[in-house]
Amino acid sequence: MKRSTLLLVALLALAFLTSLAAGKVWIGPADWFADTANGWIMAELRLPRAILGASVGAVLGLSGAVLQGYLRNPLADPTVVGVSSSAALGGVIAILLGVSGLAMFGFAMAGAAISVALLVALAGRSGGPLGFILAGMVLATLSGSLTALLISMAPNPFATSEIIAWMMGALTDRTMDDVARALPFMVLGSVILLLTARSLDALTLGEDAARSMGVEPDRLRWQIALGTGLAVGASVAVTGVVGFVGLIVPHFIRRIVGERPSATLIPSAIGGAILTLAADSAVRLLPGAGEVRLGIAMAAIGAPFFFLLLTRIRREPA
């Protein structure tokens, strides 16, 4: 393993352990397996939260790296192609129907599945990456406006606030049931996304060159839509929409491991997990009665960082 990967793995371990220990109550390793209140917090609250934080961050970082490679555009991320907002729409419908738990998860996944089908169909037979991103933006806009429509039609203020709170993305009060539901989809989706690595490298030289090197564009589009749908759909289904991770992380990773798309995939997954765990630990440590929503915290951290990154990229000669 390369030194940079080892460093990322070490940081991930640190972020994971911090996420377990940090919170309104600090829990030291001695209490983790104890039969006390703290032991219960650890097993029932902190552990599922840390596992979800790491896995949600990982799929967001990975799918961001895959989409940026596929679209050959450093501004792509899962929210751009409409999967996140479609899954969120499914979740909102579930809240309005008053269902939760497994049923809500099913609604969000159904939203993601519909977006995958539409993405592949709208992107067309010869669309290529350009058709893909246009279809994705149409989907994102459509599901965003449907969500807004549903919010405006919510029967009471409680439903409205529940929807808005859920959509902002959070890892609060998640259970092992959530982990058990989401993890298989995330793993399957990630494996499908990792299988695109070689094709993404070939696409560096353009669509014609990639095809001449044996990349089948239709199959690649399917793989990316399906992989993103499964992995990101499942993450939205359990945490709501957490933005910026998929956008920012691959930029940092490229500076460490170079720009070859296949080389950025696994480090971006690890980097996404680190960033999400760190941000989720931070929101718990901020003073105050409640908690800042993870999605909001991520945007607050992400936007300035990204701005900094852009100004640095600008200054380099083209």
Partner 1 sequence: MIGIEALSVTLGKQQVVEALTLSLQRGRVTAILGANGAGKTSLLRAIAGLVPPSAGSISIDDTPIAALSLPERARRLGYLPQNGQPAWALTVRELVALGRLPHRSPFAALSPGDEAAIDAAIAQTDVTHLADRTVDTLSGGEKARAKFARVLAAETDWILADEPLANLDPPHQQDVLRLMRAAADAGKGVLVVLHQLDAAARAADDILILKQGRAVAFGPCVEVLTPATLEAAFDMAMDVITHQGRVAILPR
Tokens 């939203």 — which residue?
111
Cβ atoms 295, 240 nearer than 8 A: yes
Work out how close the CB of 138 gets to partner 1 at its nearest, in angstroms, rounded to a whole number.
Answer: 24
141 binds partner 1 (CB under 8 A): no
Which residues have C-beta within 8 Å of that of residue 161, sequence separation ≥ 6? Answer: none
Residue 198 or residue 300: which is nearer to partner 1 going by CB? 198
Q: Among 78-86, 184-192, 196-204, 224-232, which window interacts with partner 1 (CB under 8 A)? A: 196-204
Q: How far is the CB of 274 from partner 1 (least distance, A)?
A: 23
Instruction: Select from 205, 303, 308, 313 the one that contacts partner 1 (CB under 8 A).
Output: 205
CA distance 202 to 243: 28
Between 11 and 198, name the residue whose CB sits nearer to partner 1. Answer: 198
162 C-beta neighbours (distance < 10 Å), count: 16
- Which residue reads 């359990």 in tokens? 238
Identity of the residue numbered 211: R
What residue has token string 């945007």?
Answer: 299
204 part of the interface to partner 1, by CB under 8 A: yes
Q: Is 202 in the site for partner 1 (CB under 8 A)?
A: yes
User: d(Cα 284, Cα 301) in Å, to the nearest integer?
Assistant: 15
Q: Tell me which of 201, 222, 256, 306 binds partner 1, using CB under 8 A.
A: 201
Q: Spell out, one character per residue from 29 to 68, where the chain touches partner 1: x when CB under 8 A holds, - when not.
A: ----------------------------------------
Residue ranges in 266-305 that form contacts with partner 1 under rule CB under 8 A? none
Q: What does the alpha-carbon distance between residue 268 and residue 229 come to, in Å, rounded to a whole number? A: 18
Cβ contact 190:183 at 8 Å:
no
Among 99, 195, 282, 300, binds partner 1 (CB under 8 A): 195
Stretch 228-267 residues interacting with partner 1 (CB under 8 A): 254, 258-261
Using the contact rule CB under 8 A, the part of the chain among 28-36, 82-90, 204-212, 294-302 near partner 1 is 204-212
Total binding residues toward partner 1, as defined by CB under 8 A: 23
Q: Which residue, 173 or 259, has its beta carbon nearer to partner 1?
A: 259
Q: For residue 204, count other CB atoms closer than 10 A to its CB.
A: 14
Instruction: Spell 38-63 as b/e; 16+ CB within 10 A means b.
Output: beebbeeebbbbbbbbbbbbbbbbbb
Question: What is the spatial distance between Cα 217 and Cα 200, in angstroms, rounded to a whole number?
Answer: 11
Instruction: Please report whether residue 78 would count as binding partner 1 according to CB under 8 A.
Output: no
Residues that bind partner 1 (CB under 8 A): 69, 72, 195, 198, 201-206, 208-209, 211-216, 254, 258-261
